[in-house]
Amino acid sequence: MRIEARNLGWREIVRGVSVEIRKGETFGLVGPNGSGKSTLLRLLAGLMPRAAGEVWLDGAPLAQLSRRQIAQRLALVEQFADTGEALSVRDAVDLGRTPWLSPLSPFGPEDRQIVDRALAAVGMEGMAARAWATLSGGERQRVHIARALAQEPRVLILDEPTNHLDIHHQLALLGLVAALPVTVVMALHDLNQAMMCDRLGVMSDGRMVACGKPAEVLTPDNLARIFRVRAQPMIDPSDGSTLFRFLPMETST
Amino acid sequence: MTRRAALSALAVPVLSRAGLGAVLLALAVLAGVTIGEVALPLGLVGDLLAVKLLGIERALDPIEAGILWSYRLPRTLVAAACGAGLALSGVVLQALVRNALADPYLLGVSAGAGAGAVAVTLLGLGGGAIGLSAGAFGGAASAFLIVALLAKAAGGGPAQLVLAGIAGSQLFNALTSFFIAKSANAEQARGLMFWLLGNLSGVRWPDVSLALPVVGLGFLVCLAHVRPLDAFSFGSGAAASLGIAVRRVQLVLIAAVTLMTATLVSLVGSIGFVGLVIPHAMRFLVGPRHARLIPASALAGAVFLIAADIAARVLIPGQVVPIGVVTALVGAPGFALILIRNRRRS
């Protein structure tokens, strides 16, 4: 599913962001803390009240779709979503089926299979009966992603999905996301991980200041200007891919 | 086709559970009408039903039949409606505001309803059960609004909500006392104070015909929203991204809760702790999913309040204890348990 955003804005947090995300693309959002990444993701999901600008999903204006229609197309995994309810892992993932259910089509065997597949995709199939309160931060994150997968979206929006995850699960998750046949938009903290995206948008102070292929966008120049680090590109001889080593900026005084 | 198969596979346990619930409720009502200062034989209930519903001629003791039909049955039915309505209100409020301590009593909704009803009674703004209920509804709605706005202005956290609820309750209870002090004569004042503690003594058939439809409607509204209520588990943002029209759902459910609470308070006064303790007990028994929690809480609330009313009638021979006193005696320790459990979780 193609996403087009024009002149998105919300208060002073996000200002005049226009971007086009292609069908099936894995689009990364990077930027320093407080640069507006999370707000931009929420704007793309149509979740911010009194937002400026417009979003189209495959040409259909988001503002004209009902919440339910949006949720059938687009799933969002936010940071820090927690619950005090004594839900099990399966209960939490079942919630992903919400936009597809109605009194006339209650939760059925198909829905159960979809939930099973979503649990398996994040490696949580053996923990379906575990209580939410007993999960680690990384396990909770994987359950949230399974919940989003159970929504069967065509656009998956993830806010720093690798937070809380150990390195094995970080790589597994990025591999899973890259292999999904859906459009993915995700905020990422780790710039080396951002290199695996098809394209990147760089946020700084509420604006998208650069957008393009990772190698074109994450130049030492941009990194110095936006992230205030000195980046040393290094080539991995085994596959020729670029890695960054980050160093503090030399102080001018 | 798989959908239909799933539907019919689900229908059997749902129907058998509903049947079990109906039996439990019927037994509670039976206990409610037979136990009391004058114990009435079970056979009388059958005979009376035969006379009243089927029109069969039976010889009945007119006094016993009168107690059963005109006093105990309406009283027990209103107790059931009241327990169910308050428990449902608690479930819905706890889910919507994501706060284990939310219930109509603690959030000031009951106090607002009480103040509204007293204002209508004393200031003569329209009379009768409908006028009273309308006043209670106005009071309950304004109390909810004030508490919600205050909680939001204070930062919107769970602690702020409870504190705002306390402030709201105090304000509206003070208003109630003020109205009574200003406008009521001694006899009215005594009656109102007794009513405010929660009292089923004056309940007659017209009250039943108000309470049952309102709570029935509230129950159906809650049942129709079991999935949205589940979706609120991770907050209203998560609910919105799951396709829930958050504002509309909040508005419909809060209207249902306010209507139920206001109607019940206008009929029987403010009965505390049912809306708080019953939903938690049921979460413990049937889990947090609302498809089970809503019917289980409605049933348990109904049965609990019938039992509390029986206790209120027989605890002190020759005297009726206000039912709010009985529910608080059971509810306060229950509330303490919830507080302790919550501390462990956080």
Contact list, A81 vs chain B (CB under 8 Å): 234-235, 237-238
pLDDT digits (tens, 9 = 90+) for B281-291: 898 889 899 99
Contact list, A83 vs chain B (CB under 8 Å): 98, 233-235
Contact list, B245 vs chain A (CB under 8 Å): 66-68
User: Who among B6, B243, B288 is closest to A85 (CB)?
Assistant: B288
Answer yes or no: do B233 and A87 touch at CB < 8 A: yes
Q: Mean pLDDT: which of A87-101, B39-53, B60-74 is highest?
A: A87-101
- Tell me: pLDDT of B343 over 70: no
| Average pLDDT of the residues of chain B | 86
pLDDT digits (tens, 9 = 90+) for B180-222: 888 778 887 887 777 777 778 888 898 899 999 999 999 999 9
- B60-83 exposure pattern, b = at least 16 Cβ within 10 A, e = fewer: beeeebebbbebbbbbbbbbbbbb
User: Who among B2, B3, B240 is closest to A67 (CB)?
Assistant: B240
Report how far residue B189's alpha carbon sits from residue B177's, in angstroms, rounded to the nearest whole number: 9
Per the structure, the count of domains in chain B is 1
- Tell me: pLDDT of B346 over 50: no
- Tell me: pLDDT of B82 over 60: yes
pLDDT digits (tens, 9 = 90+) for B51-65: 887 777 777 888 888
- Tokens for B218, please give them: 């509230």
In a domain, B12, yes or no: no
CA distance B34 to chain A (A): 39
Q: What is the mean pLDDT of residues B223-229?
A: 94
The residue ranking higher by pLDDT, A242 or A11, is A11
Answer yes or no: do B233 and A92 touch at CB < 8 A: yes
In a domain, B9, yes or no: no
- Tell me: pLDDT of A180 over 50: yes
Q: Is B207:A30 a contact under the CB 8 Å cutoff?
A: no
pLDDT digits (tens, 9 = 90+) for B1-49: 455 555 555 566 778 888 899 999 999 999 998 888 788 888 888 888 8
C-alpha gyration radius of chain A: 19
Nearest CA in chain A to B240: A67
- Tell me: pLDDT of B313 over 50: yes
CA distance B243 to chain A (A): 4
* ipTM score of complex: 0.86
* Residue positions counted in chain B: 346
In a domain, B6, yes or no: no
Report how far residue A109's alpha carbon sits from residue B166's, in angstroms, rounded to the nearest whole number: 46
pLDDT digits (tens, 9 = 90+) for A199-249: 999 999 999 999 999 989 988 888 888 988 888 888 889 988 888 888 888
pLDDT at B1: 44
In a domain, B4, yes or no: no
| Average pLDDT of the residues of chain A | 90
In a domain, B11, yes or no: no
CA distance B339 to chain A (A): 13
Beta bridge partners of B319: B316
Nearest CA in chain A to B6: A108
pLDDT at B129: 62
- Domains annotated for chain A, with CATH where assigned, are 3-218 (3.40.50.300), 229-253 (no CATH)
Parallel, antiparallel or unpaired: strands A242-248 and A26-30: unpaired
Edge-first strand order for the sheet with A26-30 is A74-77, A155-159, A183-187, A26-30, A199-204, A207-212
Q: What is the mean pLDDT of residues A171-194?
A: 89
Nearest CA in chain A to B232: A83
CA distance B306 to chain A (A): 29
Nearest CA in chain A to B280: A85
Answer yes or no: do B3 and A151 touch at CB < 8 A: no
User: Who among B235, B242, B289 is closest to A71 (CB)?
Assistant: B242
In a domain, B7, yes or no: no
Give Cα separations from B331 to A68, A234, B280, B327, B338 (angstroms): 39, 67, 11, 5, 10
In a domain, B53, yes or no: yes
- Tell me: pLDDT of B277 over 80: yes
Q: What is the mean pLDDT of residues B335-339?
A: 78
To probe the interface with A, which of B8, B10, B98, B234 has the most A CB atoms within 10 Å? Answer: B234
In a domain, B14, yes or no: no
Task: For chain B, give the percent of residues with pLDDT over 70.
Answer: 93
Q: Mean pLDDT: which of B58-72, B145-159, B282-296 is highest?
A: B282-296
Residues on A contacting B at a C-beta cutoff of 8 Å: 42, 45, 47, 66-72, 74-76, 78, 81-87, 91-92, 95-96, 98-99, 101, 103, 105-110, 133, 151
Answer yes or no: do B7 and A106 touch at CB < 8 A: yes
Contact list, B244 vs chain A (CB under 8 Å): 67-68, 98
Report how far residue B77's alpha carbon sits from residue B206's, in angstroms, rounded to the nearest whole number: 12
- Tell me: pLDDT of B306 over 90: yes
Nearest CA in chain A to B11: A106
Nearest CA in chain A to B98: A84
User: Who among A70, A83, A86 is closest to B234 (CB)?
Assistant: A83
Give Cα separations from A2 to A55, A57, A60, A185, B136 (angstroms): 10, 6, 10, 11, 52
Residue A45, phi then psi, degrees to nearest 5: -85, 0
User: Who among B242, B283, B289 is closest to A91 (CB)?
Assistant: B289
CA distance B140 to chain A (A): 27
- Tell me: pLDDT of A82 over 60: yes
pLDDT at B6: 54
Task: Read off the CATH number of the domain in which B223 is found.
Answer: 1.10.3470.10
Owning domain of residue B263: 24-345
pLDDT digits (tens, 9 = 90+) for A119-166: 999 889 999 999 998 998 888 989 999 999 999 999 999 999 988 888
Contact list, B247 vs chain A (CB under 8 Å): none
CA distance A179 to chain B (A): 23
Answer yes or no: do A106 and B10 touch at CB < 8 A: yes
User: Who among B6, B231, B240 is closest to A106 (CB)?
Assistant: B6
CA neighbours closer than 13 Å in the CB half-sphere of residue A54: 9
Tokens 């209103």 correspond to what residue? B78
